[in-house]
Amino acid sequence: MGDSGHNEASRSEYVQKQATAEEIQEAIMRKMDIRKKKAGNISKIKGNQETSDRVYGRYWT
Residue 46: per-residue pLDDT? 57
Q: How many Å apart are CA 56 and CA 59, to the nearest integer? A: 5
**Structural domain span for residue 43:** 20-61
- Quick check: is 28 in a domain? yes
pLDDT tens digit sequence for 1-54: 445 555 566 666 666 666 677 888 888 888 888 777 766 655 555 555 666 666
Q: How many Å apart are CA 35 and CA 27, to the nearest integer? A: 12
- Quick check: is 57 in a domain? yes
* 55 has pLDDT over 70: no
The answer to whether the Cα torsion of 27, 32, 33, 37 is positive or negative is positive
- Quick check: is 55 in a domain? yes
Instruction: Note the pTM of the prediction, 2 decimals.
Output: 0.31
Q: What is the count of structural domains for the chain?
A: 1
- Quick check: is 61 in a domain? yes
- Quick check: is 1 in a domain? no
